[in-house]
Amino acid sequence: METLRFTLGVILPYVAVAAFLAGMVCRVYSWKKLPSPPITLFPAPPTGAANLRNTLQEALLFKSLFRADPGLWLVAWTFHLVLALILLGHLRAFANVDGLLMKLGMSAGGIQAMSSGVGGAAGLAIGTAAVALLLRRGAIPRVREITGWSDCLALLLIGAVVTTGNLMRFGGQHFDLTATRSYFAGLASFAGAAGAPVLKNNLFLLHMCLAFLLIMLMPFSKLLHFGGIFFTQHLIRKH
């Protein structure tokens, strides 16, 4: 069992980060090799500021999706918004965000209450959105035709990560925040995290492994649209 904990808790994080970085380099290289069309598909805005505004509207507000399918836009935008909030909340596991919030006037109890309330609601919301998006891929014929195995796998992994996170939060097995920071600090500094107490929490270990598997899948799936959208918007608007 200790060998498995070492493999999943110490080796897998480094493998996941290396695979993600290598995959990102390959994807960016492939994007840069794409031929640039001699004309744009639609009139480009006259200034760089307008280009930037339109790109941000696409990236942050999903303007084109809203025009094409308002129902899907609501589910997708909610999903991405909640995901961003969850990622921000997870910064507490890597850095002393609490100290910054206390300097802004929040108490330790208030920070914990906010984390529990907002984090719990976000976990339930993103789980519901992930199920809705997965069901949509199977229920709508035109969407089912363009759905690949990686699309379903990504949503299933997201659902598994969310489920294990919710089980930790609502099931009474929540991990120790201080021990978690110490564990990730050990990984970041290569100081050795093999004996980290947090790795004895099987649910946390499963949650983390699923998250790292998702990270490894990201460069090779449509999950990378969060970066690709800036490249494609620049490509079609630069002429």
Over residues 194-205, the mean pLDDT reads 86
d(CA 147, CA 144): 5
Q: Give me the half-sphere count of Cα atoms (radius 13 Å) on the Cβ side of residue 86.
A: 21
Q: Is residue 5 very low, low, confident or very high in pLDDT (cuts 50, 70, 90)?
A: confident
Angle at 142 between CA 237 and CA 230, to 5 degrees: 20
- Is pLDDT above 90 for 210? yes
pLDDT in tens, 174-190: 667 788 888 888 888 88
User: How high is the mean pLDDT of the chain?
Assistant: 80
Distant-in-sequence, close-in-space partners of 184: CB < 8 Å, separation ≥ 6: 93, 94, 193
Lowest mean pLDDT among 108-112, 133-137, 222-226: 222-226
Answer whether residue 18 shows pLDDT above 90.
yes
Q: Which amino acid is at 27?
A: R
What domains lie within the chain, and their CATH numbers?
A: 2-237 (1.20.950.20)
pLDDT for the residue 211: 92
Percentage of residues in the chain having pLDDT higher than 90 = 10
DSSP label at 133?
A: H
Can you tell me whether residue 43 is helix, strand or coil? coil
Given a cut of 90, whether residue 6 has pLDDT beyond it is no
Contacts of 15 (CB under 8 A, 6+ apart): 212, 216
Q: What is the pLDDT of residues 43-57, one digit of tens each?
A: 555 566 777 777 777
- Contact status, residue 204 vs residue 168, Cβ threshold 8 Å: yes
Q: Residue 206 — pLDDT band, cuts 50, 70, 90?
A: very high
pLDDT at 119: 80
With 70 as the cut, is the pLDDT of residue 154 above it? yes
